[in-house]
Amino acid sequence: MTEFATPAAARWLDDAPTAVAIEHGPWRMDRVGAGLADIRFRGVSVLRALRVVVRDADWRTIEPRDVTVTGGDGGSITIAARCQRNEVDLAWTATLSLDDTELRVDLSGVAQSAFDRNRIGIIVLHWPSDAGSQLWVTHPDGTSTRTRFPDAIAPHQPALDIAGLEWSRQGIDVRLHFAGDVFEMEDQRNWTDASFKTYSTPLERPFPVRLDPGDRVAQSVTVTCDGDPESGAGDDAPEREEVVLGAERVFPQIGIAASTASESSRPRDEVRAPVTLVELDVRDANWRAALERARQDAGKGLLDVRLIARDEADVAQLVDAVAPLPIARLAVFDATTHVSEPVLWRVLGDAAAARGIRGELVAGTRAHFTELNRTHERLPDAPLTFSITPQMHDIERAQIVESIAMQRLVAENAVRIADGAAVHVGPVTLRARYNAVATTPYAADRATDVSGGYGAERVAEATDARQTSPAMAAWVMASTFALAIDNVASITLGEARGPRGLADETGRFPVADAAELLIARGGELTRRLENLPDGCWGAAFPERREILVANVADDDARFTIEGIGALVVPATDYVRQAY
């Protein structure tokens, strides 16, 4: 039996890296693995994180290994690591230097092999609560621009051509100076990351870039802070108001995705939903078999069919195949751009009408909210959709947990873009079902059946072992409540079965019970629970006289609900409480 370091780790079935405190003068931060997190000056957390990243030609992050740490006296620490996977092999050191007002990190990396990279270097993560703050950007030519950290999620980079940044946070003036490359900033809330990110190299430059053995990378960032914290700054536990019930609204329909796993993963007791989502990629030889499996998975339910096409002929062929089936929703996405391009949409509408398909036609993207945010002005005036995975940039447990609040923000931004039209979210999965930003050409599946799996089953790193963990039940419930806002008409969870699903041949996973509770409440009246403690998400269902609350935090949550009474929600768990 596997032993875990903490109760939270046991609930998640993973051991998150241990945080090691670093303190010097007014500075305090945590070293987590090979990176720095929660960087504080005089008690104020001025930066979320500072890391070294290596991303390959398909934008996959190569996690550091063989991490060693030396020093610690006199305000100097050196972190050494190696990022190695497949052809990528980079050895690097990062030296941290601290004094009374300045933090400096110097990076030196050496390629150990020949490989293509899209990015290598230092990244700085800023807190999402910086949104709206005034920001001064210094450019390499010495000029400067005044802007702000964006409030609404920015579709494109809010700051470009960066040599330095300056802003204030809770009374502390923060200045960054970069050397070794030109930097820019992106709004990572697009991918449900709880951060803005400043990184190099500018995306307008060609990528990937070839490195040969011995090629070097050298960068530095200097963080200078001054000022006195505002009153109350740095307080971690502000006084919380009593939890109250919000206005009544309709809970979204909850669906599940068709399984892409091998047939051997079929459980005896399958979870079913009113609607099952299936993605059909015409480039794959087994797309008809995938459709037939989805029909079987759906049972007596309806299908939400997402077509992936190269041209008009593909759309017509796909619509012909699905026309005889019970369709709840039908969407089409370009195989290259991953969005509902106008020409494909027109063919979809005409073909669906000609074949008498009564399901709702949906536009948007099969990829991240990012693609919807960047392309919505050219998309059809129709109900919109996008999918969610919290691990585009980071696979740590904290990233998964902290994405929940960003999912609420993403849903709010999607509803704003939809401008009164319905929004359909999903699938919501721990890992990406496919790589939407790969530069490597798509490798079509040549199999004509799906007995060995298809789609995500054949995608490297699409499966997360935490899918089977007890904590996953709380995460799915919290995610659903975060996304369940006005005008979000449906939310599709992960797959029905298999390693990315709710059960497999060994039995049901803990998440299956939570999914069934949510599925059964689709379309019912609900009242959001407001002012819940951090990490808690929940709702009341008046017709059932019950409350569901999920807690994704590592500590138990205790609070009182106005007119109902006290409630305790265990860490990384959920409760179902009558009232």
pLDDT at 364 over 90: yes
CATH number at residue 34: 2.70.98.10
Total domains in the chain come to 2
Query: What's the pLDDT band for 102 if we cut at 50, 70, 90?
Result: very high
42: pLDDT strictly greater than 60: yes
Residues 413 and 503 in one domain: yes
Q: How many Cα atoms occupy the beta-carbon half-sphere of 393 within 13 Å?
A: 25
Higher-confidence residue of 241 and 49: namely 49
Q: Identify the domain boundary among 226, 252, 274.
A: 226
User: In this predicted structure, what is the pLDDT of residue 239?
Assistant: 65
410 touches 390 (CB < 8 A) = no
Residue 72, pLDDT above cutoff 90: no
Q: What is the CATH number of the domain that holds 422?
A: 3.20.20
Dihedral pair phi/psi, residue 314, rounded to 5°: -60, -45
Assigned token pair, 516? 């069934």
pLDDT tens readout for residues 408-446: 999 999 999 999 999 999 999 999 999 999 999 999 999
With CA atoms as reference, report the closest residue to 284 among 257, 260, 320: 260
pLDDT(376) > 70:
yes
Residues 151, 55: one domain?
yes
Q: Which pLDDT does position 131 carry in this prediction?
A: 98
Residue 237 lies in a domain: no
Instruction: At 499, give phi and psi (nearest 5°).
Output: -65, -15
Task: Examine the domain organization and report whether 159 and 277 are in the same domain.
Answer: no
Identify whether residues 122 and 249 lie together within a single domain. no
Q: What's the rounded mean pLDDT across residues 4-10?
A: 89
What pLDDT, on a 0 to 100 scale, did the predictor assign at position 469? 97
Give domain status of residue 162, yes or no: yes
**172 belongs to a structural domain:** yes
Give the C-alpha separation, 44 to 228, whole Å. 9
**pLDDT digit string, tens, across residues 442-465:** 999 999 999 999 999 999 899 999
Domain assignment present for 235: no
Query: Is pLDDT of 236 > 70?
Result: no
Give the range of the structural domain holding residue 35, as residue numbers without chain letter: 7-226
**Integer Cα distance of 274 and 254 in angstroms:** 8
In this structure, are 217 and 257 located in the same domain? no
Mind giving me the DSSP string for 263-331?
A: GGG--SS----SEEEEEEETTSTTHHHHHHHHHHHHTTSEEEEEEEESSHHHHHHHHHHHTTS-EEEEE
Q: What is the mean pLDDT of residues 83-109?
A: 97
Per-residue confidence band for 75, with pLDDT thresholds at 50, 70 and 90: confident
Average pLDDT score over residue span 271-278: 96
pTM exceeds 0.75: yes
| Confidence (pLDDT) at 18 | 86
Q: Does 232 reside within a domain? A: no
pLDDT digits (tens, 9 = 90+) for 520-556: 999 999 999 999 999 999 999 999 999 999 999 999 9
15 shares a domain with 56: yes
Give me the pLDDT at residue 108, please. 98
- Judge if 281 and 319 occupy the same domain: yes
197, 226, 255 - which closes a domain:
226
33 φ/ψ sector (left φ>0, alpha ψ -120 to 50, else beta): left
Length of the chain: 579
- Determine the pLDDT at residue 25: 95
In angstroms, rounded to a whole number, what is the distance separating the alpha carbons of residues 318 and 274?
Answer: 22
268 in the same domain as 172:
no
What is the pLDDT of the chain when averaged over all its residues? Answer: 95
Looking at the structure, do residues 212 and 140 belong to the same domain, yes or no?
yes
Is residue 383 domain-resident? yes
Q: Is residue 221 part of a domain?
A: yes
pLDDT of residue 97: 96
pLDDT cut 70: percent of the chain above it:
98
Residue 77 predicted with pLDDT over 60: yes
Based on the fold, state whether residues 502 and 395 are members of the same structural domain.
yes
- Is a pLDDT exceeding 90 seen at residue 264? no
Position 454 in a domain: yes
Same domain, 404 and 483: yes
- Specify whether 163 is located in the same domain as 264: no
pLDDT at 266 over 90: no
pLDDT at 354: 97
Helix H, strand E, coil C: the string for 378-446 is HCCCCCEEEEECCCCCCCCHHHHHHHHHHHHHHHHHHHHHHCCCCEEEEEECCCCCCCCCCCCCCCCCC
Res. 307: pLDDT tops 80 = yes
- 231 CB-near residues (< 8 Å, 6+ apart): none
- State residue 235's pLDDT score: 61
Q: Point out the domain boundary residue: 200, 226, 252.
A: 226
- pLDDT band for position 232 (50/70/90)? confident
